[in-house]
Amino acid sequence: MSTARGDGWRFGGPAALIAALLCLTCNYGDVTVIEPAAAPPSDTLSLTVLPGETQAAAALGWKAGIPGAEVILAPSVKPRADIAGDTATGPAIDTLVTDSAGHVSVPDLPAGWYYVEVRRWLSDSERSRLAPGEDLIGFMTQQTVERGSDTVYVPGGHRQSVLISEASFYPEYVPGACCYTYDDYLELVNNSDTTVYLDGLVIAVFTTDEEQTGGGHCAAIESFDNDPNGVWVDYMDSLPGTGHEYPLAPGAVAVIATDAIDHRANSPQDGLDLSHADFEMTGEADVDNPSVPNSVVIGTNGWYGDGFTGHGMQFSLGAGAGIVVALPVDTTSLPRGKTSPVSTFTLQRIPRDRILDVFLVSFVSDYTITSGISDCLHQVNSDFDRTWPPWELYTPPEGWRQRGQYSVQRKVAYTRADGRKLLQDTRSTEADFFVGHRTPFALPAGPP
């Protein structure tokens, strides 16, 4: 008869006798009974931190989780089901480092939800072990977890080439005139080590979709909002140039302004002097700066906000800000579609192999949620943006009238020994960006 061995042996009493009688002629060979690992204490948060890119992890020799990852823990609340998630609701509780198997635990925590931010940047020697051409610089994520045991999958952060480093679209307060929005700008950075050329680069915006509870709108447009083959956009411009007219050196930035003028006269409190921007967007009633190259309208819907602003593309549209930066495309070959048979807009899909960066911010607020309006679950496929933040129209500590002094900026992954900043890109707007004071023409300093 087979035997059972091991410290986990707990089989006895009547059940054992019945089993023995039923199995007198059985022969399964030696059987080892292993007792399951003890569950962590009920007041402990126990995390296993795993790499989202298994091939890179294998090249690094990681046989289990991510070793040596910094884990920042802060209080939070249960994430909302209809938006990407929440952030910390208070100061950090602790900062820990994962063990060789990617584990970390924190005892003596009250029941509830916690915000977890994980960072693990690769050293020069680790990057040298990656496959040739691999531009992985580390792993980073943030999410909300409940006390207990959980697994956190951490996506890889890559260098990429051209990235959005800053987007300014918050309206500026003008006494007696409400808001000023024409000094929007988009800042791009060359995050690589070689010169890139911005000629023909595509800048596009798309509407973020929402619906009344039970409206069915989100389900009807799911094929557009969750398309793995690309991103459907409303308006699309390209930068001028025929190939090598507009170089961008490694680490350099280029500012694309809605209007490349000095806005301080129109917006005395918050206006910026963008007259020396690198490019400006084109509109049918545009205030043109002849010394700044104009974008070229290439989308099927023509000028941005045709009949409304006339100033050219602004970098928010509808209930949020959805921006795509892509390599040059042949617009005549792009798929087209309408989200409704009666829609006057024809969307075009930028294919996934041309997309360089996608930025997405939701403006849905507590008020709109309680009144029955919510974001659609998908705005773009998670291959392009894993999670986006519900930052609404950000209200700074100084009050809403100072909102226009802020922008959304990409985090600095780390600063090299030569002083060069490398920016973070995990294809997750919520993880990669923060809100801070505007810094046009310069790389972000932060986050603060």
The 10s digit of each residue's pLDDT in 326-364 is 999 999 999 999 988 878 889 999 999 999 999 998 776
Give the model's pLDDT for residue 326: 96
User: Buried b vs exposed e over 188-198: b needs ≥16 C-beta within 10 Å?
Assistant: bbbbbeeebbb
Give the model's pLDDT for residue 318: 67
Handedness of CA 154, 160, 162, 165 (dihedral sign): positive
Q: Give how far Cα 45 sits from Cα of 110, 112, 122, Å.
A: 10, 10, 26
More confident residue, 35 or 58: 58
pLDDT at 200 over 90: yes
Give the model's pLDDT for residue 333: 94
SS3 per residue for the chain? CCCEECCCCCCCCHHHHHHHHHCCCCCCCCEECCCCCCCCCCCCEEEEEEECCHHHHHHCCCCCCCCCCEEEEEECCCCCCCCCCCCCCCCCCEEEECCCCCEEEECCCCCCEEEEEEEEECCHHHHCCCCCCCCEEEEEEEEEEECCEEEEEECEEECCCEEEEEEECCCEEECCCEEECCCCEEEEEECCCCCEECCCCEEEEECECEEECCCCHHHHCHHHHCCCCEEEECEEEECCCCCCCCEECCCCEEEEECCCCECCCCCCCCCCECCCCCEECCCCCCCCCCCCCECEECCCCCCCCCCCCCCCCCCCEECEEEEEEECCCCHHHCCEECCCCCCCCCEEEEEHHHEEEEEEEECCCHHHHHCCEEECCCCCCCCCCCCCCCCCCCCCCCCHHHHHHEEEEECEEEECCCCCEEECCCCCHHHHEEEEECCCCCCCCCCC
Give the model's pLDDT for residue 41: 66
Domain spans in the chain, listed from the N-terminal domain onward = 1-36, 45-157, 162-437
| Confidence band of 368 (pLDDT split at 50, 70, 90) | low
Segment 5-31 mean pLDDT: 37
CATH number attached to the domain at 45-157: 2.60.40.10
More confident residue, 167 or 395: 167
- As a whole number of angstroms, the distance between CA 294 and CA 206 comes to 21
Give the model's pLDDT for residue 160: 85
Segment 48-72 mean pLDDT: 94
The 10s digit of each residue's pLDDT in 402-421 is 888 999 999 998 888 899 99
The 10s digit of each residue's pLDDT in 233-279 is 999 999 999 989 999 999 999 999 999 999 999 999 999 999 999 99
Tell which residue, 304, 293, 299, has the closest CA to residue 347: 299
Give the model's pLDDT for residue 56: 92
* 141-145, 166-170, 278-282: range with lowest mean pLDDT: 141-145
Handedness of CA 324, 327, 328, 332 (dihedral sign): negative
- As a whole number of angstroms, the distance between CA 187 and CA 168 comes to 9
Give the model's pLDDT for residue 2: 35
| Confidence band of 51 (pLDDT split at 50, 70, 90) | very high
How are strands ordered across the β-sheet holding 336-337?
230-233, 347-351, 336-337
* 94-103, 372-381, 423-432: range with lowest mean pLDDT: 372-381
Mean pLDDT of all residues belonging to the chain: 84
The 10s digit of each residue's pLDDT in 76-93 is 988 764 444 457 788 999
What is the percent of the chain where pLDDT is above 90?
52
pLDDT at 12 over 50: no
- As a whole number of angstroms, the distance between CA 78 and CA 389 comes to 15
Contacts of 341 (CB under 8 A, 6+ apart): none
User: Buried b vs exposed e over 90-124: b needs ≥16 C-beta within 10 Å?
Assistant: eeebeeeebeeebebebeebeeeebbbbbbbbbee
Give the model's pLDDT for residue 306: 52
pLDDT at 324 over 60: yes
| Confidence band of 217 (pLDDT split at 50, 70, 90) | confident
| Confidence band of 71 (pLDDT split at 50, 70, 90) | very high
Give the model's pLDDT for residue 114: 93
For 274, the token pair is 């963008």
- As a whole number of angstroms, the distance between CA 41 and CA 206 comes to 47
CB-CB contact of 174 with 403 (8 Å): no
pTM surpassing 0.75? yes
pLDDT at 393 over 60: no
* 23-32, 97-106, 225-234, 311-320: range with lowest mean pLDDT: 23-32
For 26, the token pair is 């059985």
Q: Would you mind telling me the total number of residues written for the chain in this entry?
A: 448
